[in-house]
Structure 1
Amino acid sequence: MQDFETDGHRARKRFGQNFLSDPNIIRKIIDAIRPQPGELMVEIGPGLGAMTAPLIERLGHLHVVEIDRDLIARLHETYAPAQITVHEGDALKFDFSSLCAGGDQPLRIVGNLPYNISTPILFHLAEYADRVKDMTFMLQKEVVMRMVAEPGTEEYGRLSVMLQYRFRMGRMFDVPPGAFRPAPKVMSSIVRMAPLPKDQLGAQDETLLGKIVTAAFGQRRKTLKNTLRDYMGDADFAALGIDPSLRGEKLSVEQFVAIANHCCARG
């Protein structure tokens, strides 16, 4: 994608900028988010403010995280401090828990996430799940399909398992390329993520779970016997009733948790 001039701003390729411009789609997304007055909400990558304005109208005040200095200047020019708090910097490095400091109000996170770094951002945001009410994002449809994929499907993988372990996932609706300027070459989708209660998570060691899931999908064509050989032997698979000749894509989230807990208990 070349840099593209729109509404007086040059969309920058390095930031993965595609600005939402279809008013009907914008209205549909805001209605899906259902922002309520006084809620604590942060928008990642507000861009030219397509969602920012209607969010502020309903909320009263909005936090935003933006990396583009030109867009930051526009936000300051457009909105009063009482309406918006602009956090300048990279969302991948931002401490979202800082927005909850000193209060018990849960955080709602929304945004049109940059497609070129969407997976790292999702894993970063998952770290704050215990402070979050929900997250609603627009992402490349291909990524959303991986997020909500079921075991045994081609899309099912590490992203599916690790997000579904922590969140209740829901794909809402698709957004065509023509709704953006410049138009991306791919279809987009809206996805909602609601953190699951801690007592439903189950993994005794979430770091170990992550390592096991990463290993299982590191070489998708290989069987669990090979990909998990550093963690599981024949007796371990037998104890859990899991066929070692299966591939990682066949296991449910619960089965991955069972493997991690077995390894943790075995020591």
Structure 2
Amino acid sequence: MEMTATHTSFVALGDSFTEGMSDALPNGTYRGWADLLAGRLAAHSPDFRYANLAVRGKLIQQIVDEQVETAASMGADLVTLVGGLNDVLRPKCDVPQVCALLEEAVERLAPSCGQLVLMRSPARRGPVAARFQPRMEELFAFIDQLAARHGALVVDLYGADVLGDPRLWADDRLHLDEEGHRRVAEAVWQTLGHTPRFDWTEALPVGIKLPWTARRTADLRFTRQHLVPWIGRRLTGRSSGDGLAPKRAELLPLPAADA
């Protein structure tokens, strides 16, 4: 497809996925698909500005309360909203309430921006995703309906088999790695009507299966370093994003190195 629009401003809302975990930079900060997309868009617009209001761990109610009004007031050409997955992955979740909050967010954002983009979030293959699959599919079906009603675009990451490949996920098994984020940035780029740079849905080469001992060692490391702390936060009502500010709270030009 040929480029259909030049976006001079971009605001991203959401949780850890949009913040960029776990696409880590050498200085310990996170980049992620939204930063990658912003860099591409900036190359086509000398006056480009970018804000990323996402904070890891946020539930959809928090995104509505803390990010939506700020984003709407910025009047950006492009807004992306990804949220709700943290809710549906919890032991108890009122999916219709999550959908209602998403609708509240979209009703506020859609009239205030040039183009709103929603996503069907990616899911790593395995027993955890299978357990919550009915909830996720209920949420994603609603997102499709919501987008149709409000003229939003939908990026279907959930339906891309390659993004279920464990090799595109970080050690915490919750967040995409560098290559995963690169593919998401390309998916959004193409959905916006820009000329494809590569096939983001292309499957990874067939890999060599690790020995049983190596797989069990990785499972134990994951349990100790990631799963137990995650359970602890759930039991105590804490979030990994508590006390953290958005990564780019203002709609500002990108530094030259990022553009």
TM-score, structure 2 normalization: 0.25
User: Could you say which structure has the greater relative contact order, defined with CA pairs below 8 angstroms and 6 or more residues apart?
Assistant: 2
TM-score, structure 1 normalization: 0.25
Higher-strand-fraction structure: 1
